[in-house]
Amino acid sequence: QTSSAVSFSSVLWEWILLSCWGDSQPSMPSTLSCGSASQASDYRIIKNLHITHVVNATANSPDAFPNTLCYLRLRLSDDAQQDLVEALPLASRFINTALKAEPAGRVLVHCSMGRSRSSALTLAFLMEHRRWSLLHALRWLKERRACTAPNVNFLRQLLTYEEQLFGSRLTSLDDIRR
């Protein structure tokens, strides 16, 4: 591969994953990414993004690099019965702690396909630590990662989380469906 192909590949993976933090300063490297299990087990991606911390939200995928990265292992299923009441604040705290560390960490939040569980956990972080409503966070995330699609069960739980964080519901399912 030529250096331009390597450079293009790095830019492509940055775009495919998600630049969640530092978006107001595009020249800054991303420190929070959202992706799939296959991306999380690709050492080239982990190395290119300088990932230091991983939230593994899959039911069965093992932590790919446990000797070199710090993991939060949440065994979550993408279904109507999965309860996120403990996972949302746990993931949010883990992400925030990693990003505020000295030196600052870089976090990858992943599930199997990078669409539902990882998005729900990333949304919880944005709501809690950026103080955004669920609707604002969801719209912002979808602009940057079009495949963002938390299942309806997760959306309902995020609405409850929003109410816990802000003292009232700022978003409705109807708002989200528009």
Catalytic residues: 111
Distance CA 155, CA 71 (A): 25
By CB atoms closer than 10 A (0-12, 13-18, 19+), residue 37 is buried
Distance CA 22, CA 50 (A): 15
**CA neighbours closer than 13 Å in the CB half-sphere of residue 65:** 20
Structure tokens at 39: 């991306």
